[in-house]
Amino acid sequence: MGTRPRILTEFSRILHMPTQLPLSTEYTEAPDDELAGRIRATREKLGARVVLLGHHYQRDDVIAFADFTGDSLKLAKIAAEQTDADYIVFCGVHFMAETADILTSDRQKVILPDLKAGCSMADMADIDDLEGIWDELQQHTNAPIVPITYVNSTAAIKAFVGRNDGACCTSSNAKLVLEWALEGVDPDSPSDAGRKVLFLPDQHLGRNTAYAMGWPLERMAVVDPELPNGGLTPEQIRDARVLLWKGHCSVHMLYTPEQVHAIRKLPEQYNVIVHPECQWEVCQLADYVGSTEYIIKTVTEAEPGTHWAIGTEVHLVDRLTKTIADKKVRALSNFQCLCTTMYRIDLRHLCWVLENLVEDNVVNQIVVDEETARWSRVALNRMLELIPTQPVSAR
């Protein structure tokens, strides 16, 4: 980013990374069936005091113990509704557990079974980088910049967006939030007239959404946080309406146009449905583009006998192939597109945190400080006020 030495940013990130304690052989050497039995026993002892949340991309043996499944924001909102529970065990990744902590009460404790379960996309937007780039971008434009962050971001990024009059978005409501940010802006007007958007951390969701709204690619520019001025000239900053942070999902980047072309050559007529975190070229070739929940709903409710090739995380795709019997469902790619960080949440770590809770020992608690949580809720509420739902509550 800008002029800040990159090595200092990396060092700061390492210093603030949570540390996962190594598991004892009691867990590492136990067979899966034994661990599953121990988890069931702890669930019975803890009863309603604990709620387990499982993200759609989670492995099946962990999902089997989830009280609720869904995408990240859905699960965080469900967590906020579990007012009687003492413990929220979030089987997902770090930013998801942060959001759950932001939305739940101080009395409740949010737990991530493995602290190494992070998100490479969220990590691509570092708060130090953002603060430096923000100042540099504003020096080269007279237009107000509205920051929009995907919920797949750290609490620090969400808080920055909240403080700077921006909003969060999800893959399902990104269009709604961008329409709010650019309301009244004429696509043909000079980019220094009216507002601009800085969309982070996933450039592909921002690009695919803005393009679908009618904004041409020529009015978009990628901000590289490792370069001065984001790697852009003052003219490029002024000319762009949508500034896209250089971040991406490592899973959805594995889907390519060549894979879509290969599917089209099969004798069966496949519908191609992909997540908007995929590259623009892939989304342009697909028949349907939408969020995880949209993919599940569309494929589940499709006509019997139809064929579907899905471009998203392999655990979800595999689960759909097993549960949907009246349609042919497969992954768009022939190789596994796996979220390796989500995969860190396993029976060993789940059993470890639950057995500690039985002993009233809380491990791997995720805590967001009150100031960060307050401004994060501002960004989340700006999003939620645009859709028919209740704003999230304060602590």
pLDDT at 385 over 70: yes
Integer Cα distance of 64 and 352 in angstroms: 17
Q: Is the pLDDT of residue 275 over 60?
A: yes
Its pTM stands at: 0.89
Give the pLDDT band (50/70/90) at residue 334.
confident
Q: What is the pLDDT of residues 345-356, one digit of tens each?
A: 999 999 999 999
Q: How many residues does the chain have?
A: 395
> Is residue 387 situated within a structural domain?
no
Q: Is the domain of 113 the same as that of 142?
A: no
Q: Which residues pair with 270 in a beta bridge?
A: 307
Percent of the chain with pLDDT over 70: 93
pLDDT given for residue 17 in this prediction:
52
Contact 251, 336 (CB under 8 A): no
Instruction: Return the CA Rg of the chain.
Output: 21
Same domain membership, residue 126 and residue 114? no
> Is 70 exceeded by the pLDDT of residue 119?
yes
Last residue of a domain, one of 245, 276, 308: 245
20 has a pLDDT exceeding 90: no
Residue 322: exposure state from Cβ atoms within 10 A (0-12, 13-18, ≥19): exposed
More confident residue, 196 or 341: 196
Residue 91 has pLDDT above 80, yes or no: yes
In a domain, 100, yes or no: yes
- Mean pLDDT within 142-162: 95
Asked if the model's pLDDT at residue 120 lies above 70, the reply is yes
Measure the CA–CA gap between 336 and 326, rounded to whole angstroms. 23
Confirm if 98 and 122 have CB atoms less than 8 A apart.
no
- Is 277 a domain residue? yes
Q: What is the mean pLDDT of residues 324-352?
A: 89
- Looking at 245, 274, 301, the residue that finishes a domain is 245
Half-sphere exposure of residue 47: CA atoms within 13 angstroms, side-chain side: 3
Q: Which domain holds residue 294?
A: 252-331
Judge if 22 and 81 occupy the same domain.
Answer: yes
Q: What is the CATH number of the domain that holds 114?
A: 3.40.50.10800
Give the pLDDT of residue 118: 86
Task: Looking at the structure, tell me whether residues 175 and 224 fall in a common domain.
Answer: yes
Among 284-293, 367-376, 386-395, the range scoring the smallest mean pLDDT is: 386-395
Q: Are residues 149 and 68 in the same domain?
A: no
Residue 375 token pair: 């401004």
Query: Are 33 and 69 contained in the same domain?
Result: yes
CA distance to 75, 172, 202, 240, 263, per residue, from 150 (Å): 15, 10, 7, 20, 30
User: Are 326 and 361 part of one and the same domain?
Assistant: no
What total number of domains does the chain contain?
Answer: 3
Q: With 70 as the cut, is the pLDDT of residue 16 above it?
A: no
pLDDT, tens digit (0-9, with 9 covering 90-100), for 197-210: 999 999 999 999 99
Domain final residue, candidates 285, 307, 331: 331
Residue 97 confidence (pLDDT) above 80: yes
Tell me, what's the pLDDT at 189? Answer: 75
Q: Same domain, yes or no, for 129 and 183?
A: yes
Is residue 23 included in any domain, yes or no? yes
Query: Is the predicted pLDDT of residue 3 greater than 90, yes or no?
Result: no
Confidence of residue 18 (pLDDT cuts 50, 70, 90): low
